[in-house]
Structure 1
């Protein structure tokens, strides 16, 4: 079980880093470690401490819980659903859209998100 969760955490770290268009070196510099350490986290050769996970979450602008999403009960169903989602995230178009989104300042970013939700009929009350 320990290896499974380390691998899951590493995959989530890699996914978020890539979505933001960061290299391992850039992420490492922001955390004050060498890129090899990020590489080891991503391939689950080294475990992330709670403090390091907190730091990575801050740099990657996600809650710590992001790293655990998709792990736990009913994992098999989520794995299948996750494979379909992963296909979307491997497209260059998706990565370009996410990079453009995060290059915006906070206010336009919120407005764009609201627009996207309204186009999908997913407006929060």
Structure 2
């Protein structure tokens, strides 16, 4: 299904594939430099060292993909409004 393009690879599955192949996630994105950071990097350097942030990420990926996508869009709208 993935090879023919009938199904897209979810972000969490892409993360798993990168881990299994021991390559950085940037490997799968054409033109994206390894370790490239967005110009507006407002996150703390050790975001996944924060227990609350790690719990949030784990909870996020436990949500079914279609609901996760909607939650992501809601979070994006709310962060733009802040």
TM-score normalised by L of structure 2: 0.50
Q: Bigger radius of gyration, 1 or 2?
A: 1
User: Which structure shows the bigger proportion of residues in helix conformation?
Assistant: 1
- 1 or 2 for the larger relative contact order (CA 8 Å, sep ≥6)? 1
